[in-house]
Amino acid sequence: MDELKKILQLKKERKAIILAHNYQRSDVQDVADFVGDSFGLSQTAVSSVAETIVFCGVDFMAESAAILNPEKTVLMPELSAQCPMAAMITPASLRLEKKKYPDAAVVCYVNTPASVKAQSDICCTSANAIKVVNVQEEDEILFVPDRNLALYVAKHTDKKIIPWNGYCPTHHLILPGDILLEKEEHPEAEILVHPECRPDVVSLADQVLSTSGMLKYAKQSTSKEFIIGTELGLLHRLNQENPGKLFFPATKYAVCPNMKMNTLASILRALENNEHIIKIPENIRIRAKSALDRMLEVF
Ligand code: 13P
Ligand code: SF4
């Protein structure tokens, strides 16, 4: 029996669901039951009745699923698929920063370890960051860890945003010159970029959107051509869902090596061996869950 058939059979036997982020390899996206952005993946992890979730993404995503679903088995096929941005903040460093700004609400991007979520008031994703910030009672917001998302949000709120100095190494490979070059070659194309991009790239965009936001936008837009400023994995669904439209990556270098670690072979191994189980210590999980729940309740 081939890999794909074995995965489908085991998935049934184990009452499992496969969730995949929009940046996963194409064959991993194709075998998944749900493919989406960080927000959609969190929502699906909660609403699913599956007993086992095979999470094809990076560490913080599988952790979020485990935080929200303590009764389900959450499996991460490749443990080394870690997001470098999430590693740019620790609970100890956040504790110190919070002392400097005792009146600020702490809004943390989902790209954080569970231990950092546990110290935050509310989580956000790229799909809802502006809304989350604007509903906080506090006038000051300590926004961690993505400084680019923080600066983008700062442009859309009256609140004082205090950014952390983290960033996504993959989105930092997209340069303003890349966008300008593509625009020169495709003058009719709309420029869609992710808010993790550098501010000088964001300022060139027609639309600044989460990955699923880009998918939704491209579908309903009357434009036929788009320049895409995010990780290349998104091109798979953009092309699949929009025959007749053309998508040009801003640069061929925007590949997240961590997102590409999961393969059909590792998904099969995960299902066969029930590995690697992601469990969050209960004292951290309860506090991290309240930050995620607040986000899910509001949006
Ligand atoms: P979204 O898919 O939520 O826009 O996030 C992008 C990302 O970098 C995930 O690591
Ligand atoms: Fe982390 Fe960037 Fe990769 Fe997303 S694309 S997982 S933020 S390194």
pLDDT in tens, 123-173: 999 999 999 999 999 999 999 999 999 999 999 999 999 999 999 999 999
Residue 298 has pLDDT above 90, yes or no: no
Residue with CA closest to ligand 2 atom 7 = 168
pLDDT band at 214 (very low <50, low <70, confident <90, very high): very high
Q: Each residue of 37-80: pLDDT tens digit?
A: 999 999 999 999 999 999 999 999 999 999 999 999 999 999 99
CATH 3.40.640.10 correct for 174-249: no
Q: What is the mean pLDDT of the chain?
A: 97
pLDDT band at 299 (very low <50, low <70, confident <90, very high): confident
Asked whether 22 lines ligand 1 (CB < 6 A), one says yes
CATH 3.40.50.10800 correct for 86-167+287-298: yes
Number of the ligand closest to the Cα of 85: 2
Number of the ligand closest to the Cα of 58: 2
* DSSP output for 34-87: EEE-HHHHHHHHHH---SEEEEES-HHHHHHHHHH-TTSEEE-S-TT---TTGG
- Name the percent of the chain lying above pLDDT 70: 100
Residue with CA closest to ligand 1 atom 4 = 210
Asked whether 146 lines ligand 1 (CB < 6 A), one says no
Q: What is the mean pLDDT of residues 174-200?
A: 98
Contacts of 287 (CB under 8 A, 6+ apart): 117, 118, 119
Q: Which pLDDT score, from 0 to 100, does residue 146 have?
A: 98
- Name the percent of the chain lying above pLDDT 90: 99
Asked whether 115 lines ligand 1 (CB < 6 A), one says no
Q: Each residue of 237-283: pLDDT tens digit?
A: 999 999 999 999 999 999 999 999 999 999 999 999 999 999 999 99
The CATH 3.40.50.10800 domain(s) of the chain lie at 3-81+259-281, 86-167+287-298, 174-249
Asked whether 168 lines ligand 2 (CB < 6 A), one says yes
Asked whether 37 lines ligand 1 (CB < 6 A), one says yes
Ligand 1, atom nearest to 36 Cα: 2
Residue 1 has pLDDT above 90, yes or no: no
The fold of the 3-81+259-281 domain, in CATH, is Rossmann fold (3.40.50)
